[in-house]
Amino acid sequence: MTILMHVCCGPCALYPLTVLREEGIRVRGLFFNPNIHPFREFRRRLETMESVADAFALPVDFERRYGLKEYLRQVVFHEKERCGLCYAMRLAATVERAMAVRADAFTTTLLYSRYQNHEKIRAQAEELSRLHKIPFYYRDFREGWQQGIDMAKERELYRQPYCGCIYSEQERYDKRLGKGKDKM
């Protein structure tokens, strides 16, 4: 069985990749993350994913184009729904690529994160699976959260401090300001 796995970043790919390979599943990656801001962050995550792909002999299709405009066109004035819109963009691209490479199923490393809405991801992916007649491989990879962190630290990989979008970056700083950690 071959699964096309959407990869949000290198560190988040480590645990799911390990588990899937241990189960005898062939994995191919897709790096498609138009939400990441600023460009330096996008570039750093891309480079880290390239490093992981090389180290683990993981074939990855990289979308190297900085897609911020497309992402913002989807979410501006819909900020409360932004995560669902972002999942939809990335999952749709994953299904499209999975069909193009004739993968047997698709999944995403977003299912590794404690901070993502698993129910929403799962519902959207299952709907895409139904519409396009390609299986969605659901697995709650959160069980390996600490193991993945340890693997990333051991390899000295860049680990990002926020999900990637401009809104989550602002929320990160708003929280720090709210706690009085920063003075303006």
* pLDDT (tens digit per residue) in 92-112: 999 999 999 999 999 999 999
- How far apart, in whole angstroms, are the C-alpha atoms of residue 21 and residue 26? 6
Mean pLDDT of 144-150: 96
Task: Give the up-direction half-sphere exposure of residue 49: CA atoms within 13 A in the CB hemisphere.
Answer: 27
Q: Which residue has the higher pLDDT, 119 or 76?
A: 119
Average pLDDT, the chain: 92
Evaluate if residue 82 carries a pLDDT over 90. Answer: no
Evaluate if residue 181 carries a pLDDT over 60. Answer: no
Instruction: Report yes or no on whether pTM surpasses 0.95.
Output: no
Domains of the chain plus CATH, in order, are 2-178 (3.40.50.620)
Mean pLDDT of 140-154: 96
